[in-house]
Amino acid sequence: MARKNNLGPRIACELTAQRVIVARAADNSSAIETSTVRSLPAGALVPSLTETNLKDSSAVEQGIRDAINIVGAKHRDVVAILPDTAVRVALLDFESLPGKQDEADAVVRFRLKKALPFDVDQAAISYEVRRTNTIRVIVAAVSKSVLGEYEAVFHSCGLAPGVVLPSILACLGNVTATEPTLVIKVDVTTTTFAIVADNDLLLLRTLENTGSQVPASTQLVEDVFPSLIFFQDTYNMKVANILVGGLVDAEHCGELESQTDVKVNDLVSATLGSNSLPGSMMAGVVGALAG
């Protein structure tokens, strides 16, 4: 896996349990020139950390091919955005970390052992080190076999997925936050939320949605509140902004806004959407292509 680079691939493709979402940015900026969505047959893609994800790889391949053809890819390079339930993201704090890359990798992998439901030696990992008062490592880990599935389906479409991101980290590309900001990304199977302050990721959590249903506004409040309280107690700060994306938008988060007394806004503007693709659903691909 790899982090996105400034003005890297101009195509981003997000795979979810229900659909393929693709956007193409301008050659020299992050402005979205065109986007599209293609539905997947039920059960074709079932996100998991440990099991086979692409149950019908032919259907997923066709969805990617159709979407890429619509947006008109100029190059093979693509940012591949995977479901949050296929990737484990962890925040690890260290008092010190070796300067040599291979030694640092070994230390990070050792700390990951208890956080993964599979052998850490079979994990592909990517991480970013943030040095402030402590050393914080933001690490994304995915089973090599699961990553191989996704890479193979992109390769079969003639694409090169040189950058691979979980959905929530792609979404954070939309956020420039000095004040504490809660980011919520909802899909059918999961609700993932993160808190960012001074452009640093301080908290991240993924919850499975009951019955694989998008949570109602009241359920969203119940899901989020424990983490808001934990954040406030741990960092002695309150969330000042809430941004939402995926299968929820600000218009339908009135209960969350009233219960938290914090304004809720969309991660991306609704004007980026279309009749077939609401702006909220583009949070991942827009964030992945952000400059």
Residue-wise pLDDT tens digits, 197-244: 988 999 999 998 887 788 888 899 999 999 999 999 999 999 999 999
- Residue 271 has a pLDDT of 66
On whether the CB atoms of residues 118 and 143 are closer than 8 A, the answer is: yes
pLDDT class of 275 with cuts at 50, 70, 90:
low
Report which secondary-structure segment, H or E, holds 102: helix 101-112
Residues 81, 74, 10, 166, Cα dihedral to 10°: 10
pLDDT in tens, 82-104: 999 999 999 999 999 998 999 99
pTM: 0.93
User: Residue 27: pLDDT above 60?
Assistant: yes
Q: What domains can be seen in the chain, in order of their start residue?
A: 1-175+281-291 (3.30.420.380), 176-266 (3.30.420.40)
pLDDT(263) > 80: yes
> Hunting for tokens 């943030």 — which residue is that?
130
DSSP characters over 217-256: HHHHHHHHHHHHHHHHHHHS----EEEEEES--GGG-HHH
Other residues' Cβ atoms within 10 Å of the Cβ of residue 232: 13
pLDDT of residue 30: 85
Identity at 144, one-letter amino acid code:
K
Check residue 71 and give its pLDDT.
93
Does 272 have pLDDT greater than 80?
no
What is the average per-residue pLDDT within 49-71? 97
Residue 222 burial class via C-beta count within 10 angstroms: exposed 0-12, middle 13-18, buried 19 and up: exposed
In angstroms, the CA 146 to CA 273 distance is 30
Residue 10, pLDDT above cutoff 80: yes
Give the H or E element holding residue 107: helix 101-112
**From CA 86, how far away is CA 47, in angstroms rounded?**
5
Question: Mean pLDDT, the chain, as a whole number?
Answer: 91
Determine the average pLDDT of the residues in 153-164.
Answer: 96
Lowest mean pLDDT among 9-18, 30-39, 246-255, 263-272: 263-272
Give the DSSP H/E element, type plus range, for residue 129. strand 123-131
Q: What percent of the chain has pLDDT above 70?
A: 95
Q: How many CB atoms lie within 10 A of CB 1?
A: 21
- Among the listed residues 39, 37, 69, 29, the one whose alpha carbon sits nearest the alpha carbon of residue 274: 37
Measured between its terminal Cα atoms, the distance across the chain in Å is: 19
Whole-angstrom distance, CA of residue 288 vs CA of residue 8 = 10
Nearest one of 122, 127, 95, 132 to 108, comparing CA atoms: 127
Q: Is 27 left (phi over 0), alpha (psi -120 to 50) or beta?
A: alpha
The pair of three-digit structure tokens given for residue 153, joined into one six-digit string: 């389906």
pLDDT tens, 104-152?
999 999 999 989 999 999 999 999 998 877 899 999 999 999 999 999 9
Question: Cα-atom radius of gyration of the chain, to the nearest Å?
Answer: 18
Dihedrals phi, psi of 228, to nearest 5 degrees: -65, -40
Percentage of residues in the chain having pLDDT higher than 90: 77
User: Residue 64 belongs to what H/E stretch?
Assistant: helix 57-71
Provide the pLDDT confidence category of residue 3 given band limits of 50, 70 and 90: very low
235-249: burial string, b at 16+ Cβ within 10 Å, e else = eeeebebbbbbbbbb
